[in-house]
Structure 1
Amino acid sequence: MGQLKIRNMEEFASISGISRPTVSKYFNDPDSVRTSTRAKIEAALKKYDYQPNVFAMNQNRRTTKNIGIVVPNLADPFFSEIGRRVELACIKAGYSPILLSSHGSPDMERENLHSLRSLKPAGVLLAPFGRMSDKDAVQAFDEDFPLVLFDANMNDIGQAFVGTDNSQSVGLIVEYLCRSGEAPCFFEMKSPTNPNANKRHQAYVDSMERHGFEPRIFQADGDGWDFEEIGCIEGGRLLSSKAFNTNTILCSNDRLAIGMLSAAYGLGLQVGHGAGCDLRIAGHDDHPFSRFTCPPLTTIAQDYEAIANRAVDELFGMLEKEERLSDRTETTFEGRLVMRDSA
């Protein structure tokens, strides 16, 4: 027969003949129990090859039902919407969500993680800044708490990642724009705040080359989260100077596209795919306001609900098993083309 598999600390305490509080006390501080008790526990550890649950050991935090949710900026309707869905999924499962915004600041992200430590969360769902995040701080948090990343990935950090397949989604909208009119150029931030922007850049290049077109990329000066303002000012500058050598512009995200729509309106340009239109504009994300722009914005819809539910399921799976996942998982969902009047 194979060796008995011990699943949690309760089972280990029972089979070793030692009380659960004493076992817990040992794992928190081996010197806090009597020498004879410590020897008995260590002999049982060796005999059954049991690895204690690092999550349960840390400050007895699993006595709480708190789930931390940290997003880059709740003022951004995208993160407000996906944060809301994650929050509702936690409530439905009987947990108490604590939704925090980093307000566009990586320093605030670090402070949010520090604050969550004192609340002893059962686990945390983090939409990180990515390359702008304090990697050491996120790594340290990951070592002490169940952590699932969503929206933006940080390789090898977090027990799981859930997001959108940017290669598929950008490829889908590039294919549509190429077959329905002129091949698109790509309008993006010169210094993107989110690692998804870099993935979309590369996906655009790859898709254009697959279709036999030369990629044409235009970058906007500016940083931060004022995407609409940057899209309007920089987009207007490029439109005024007739920099675009195609009448089709694919923006890296919907908020840049909304700014571009405003710039086009100010210049008296007709946006759409009908007769007499000067310009086609498309975006990515299906921003909650994109259906209400003038004209309504053609875009890629991310599956907010699937991302939120899967991220929550990954976290709760860890909590139920009381152990780290043996392998880090990455799950991405395909985007859906939403054709509206702008392109």
Structure 2
Amino acid sequence: MSEQKIRNMEEFAAAIGVSRPTVSKFFNDPASVRPKTREKIEEALERHDYRPNVFAINQNRRSTKNIGVVVPNLADPFFLELARRVELACIDAGYTPIVRSSHGVPELESANLETLRDLKPAGVLLAPFGRESDIRSIKKFDHDFPLVLFDADLSGVGQAFCGTDNFQSINLMVEYLCRSGEPPCFFEMKTPANPNADTRRQAYIESMERHNERPRVHQAMGQGWDFEAIGLAEGGRLLSAGAFETQTILCSNDRLAIGLLAAAYGLGRRVGHGADCNLRVAGHDDHPFSRFTCPALTTISQDYDGIVSRAVTSLLQAIERDRSRSERIDTTFEGRLIMRDSA
């Protein structure tokens, strides 16, 4: 290894006797330069302490090989798993993913998009907050860069949306719970952070009416992303007050259900479908921890692979169109019933 410190591409090109444009061409696409020249550059990289500043190179391009990925909160294992799969799909497609978390703070969503704007991404995949999102700033970004939404939708924004068919998935769960025991009550947050919650409530109401059952919606007070804590506190309050009209409770998401399971345990309620049980609890999402609760949580599994694959494909198609707009395409995937011991 040479002791000479190479500070930039110009110095590297001069040190190895190759033109600066040829070196730049190599770093953009090694196969685009002649084999002998490529071998010379690769051999020189072994001798010199130099690697190009990829972001600086990208700043000089009209479009880069970067894809931004923005999710509401990477501390949530659900979004962590989605982001992981999106990241791998982008890498497989030959792009460099830049994952940004908004840490449960809606204002950071807009800030993340502005940071990505400075990096000139080829496009962005966004799982939005929903009602708390700054629609104006997202629409402005959508005007300038290819944008595809996943998980949660924002009407009229983005070139595509990919997510779960909540009407199908909730109906699937309601049908199972009704035929296997008492019809379910619905437990949700009064001010949910994710717009999917509103869709799931409406899906629950419609499904119960189709089954000739009266919908029973119960709302937990609280805001933010501490779903388990809210489920524990509010679920415990409602259980203690005898507020649930039936012994079956469908939660709008698994994290809320996990909190409710803890509340039931603290109150001495036995959860499950055995003869000695007096409460059934179900959720939605197949959260990574749902199989490890006690009892394991009955839930709906979302098609992670289908959603991610379609979202990335839609973005790549938008990138290939060079930002020219086309009719927005929405794709939803069916959920799958996961029957475990809690219901």
- TM-superposed deviation, 1:223: 0.3
Q: Distance in 1 between matches of 2:325 and 2:294?
A: 47
For 1:187, what is the secondary structure of its paired residue?
Answer: strand
Aligned to 2:317: 317
Q: What pairs up with 1:102-121 in 2 under 5 angstroms? A: 102-121=102-121
The 3 A distance-change label for structure 1 pair 270 and 283 is same
Q: Distance in 1 between matches of 2:324 and 2:238?
A: 50
Write the deviation string for residues 29-79 of structure 1: whole angstroms up to 9, x where unpaired.
xxxxxxxxxxxxxxxxxxxxxxxxxxxxxx875442110000000011110
Aligned to 1:162: 162
For 2:212, what is the secondary structure of its paired residue?
Answer: coil
**In structure 2, what residue type is equivalent to 1:316?**
L
The 3 A distance-change label for structure 1 pair 112 and 310 is same
- TM-superposed deviation, 1:342: 0.2
Q: What pairs up with 1:134-153 in 2 under 5 angstroms? A: 134-153=134-153
- TM-superposed deviation, 1:131: 1.4
**In structure 1, what residue type is equivalent to 2:189?**
M
For 1:132, what is the secondary structure of its paired residue?
Answer: coil
Aligned to 2:70: 70
Aligned to 2:246: 246
**In structure 1, what residue type is equivalent to 2:92?**
K
Q: Distance in 1 between matches of 2:332 and 2:254?
A: 20
The 3 A distance-change label for structure 1 pair 230 and 134 is same
**In structure 2, what residue type is equivalent to 1:226?**
D
Gaps of 5+ in 1: 1-58
For 1:207, what is the secondary structure of its paired residue?
Answer: helix
Deviates most, 322-331 or 80-89:
322-331
Write the deviation string for residues 150-170 of structure 1: whole angstroms up to 9, x where unpaired.
011011110000000000000
Q: Distance in 1 between matches of 2:181 and 2:98?
A: 46
Aligned to 2:218: 218
Aligned length: 285
Aligned to 2:185: 185
For 1:124, what is the secondary structure of its paired residue?
Answer: strand
Aligned to 1:3: none
**In structure 2, what residue type is equivalent to 1:183?**
P
Q: Distance in 2 between matches of 1:305 and 1:278?
A: 36
Aligned 8 A contact 2:145 2:323 in 1? no
Aligned 8 A contact 2:301 2:335 in 1? yes
- TM-superposed deviation, 1:320: 2.2
Q: Distance in 1 between matches of 2:69 and 2:118?
A: 15
For 1:274, what is the secondary structure of its paired residue?
Answer: coil
TM norm structure 2: 0.82
For 1:188, what is the secondary structure of its paired residue?
Answer: strand
Q: Distance in 2 between matches of 1:167 and 1:308?
A: 20
Q: Distance in 2 between matches of 1:171 and 1:240?
A: 28
Aligned to 1:272: 272
For 1:197, what is the secondary structure of its paired residue?
Answer: helix
Aligned to 2:209: 209
Aligned to 1:8: none
Q: What pairs up with 1:302-341 in 2 under 5 angstroms? A: 302-341=302-341
Aligned 8 A contact 1:61 1:122 in 2? no
Q: Distance in 2 between matches of 1:274 and 1:152?
A: 36
Q: What pairs up with 1:37-116 in 2 under 5 angstroms? A: 62-116=62-116
Aligned 8 A contact 2:67 2:125 in 1? yes
Gaps of 5+ in 2: 1-58
For 1:120, what is the secondary structure of its paired residue?
Answer: coil
- CA RMSD after TM alignment: 1.0
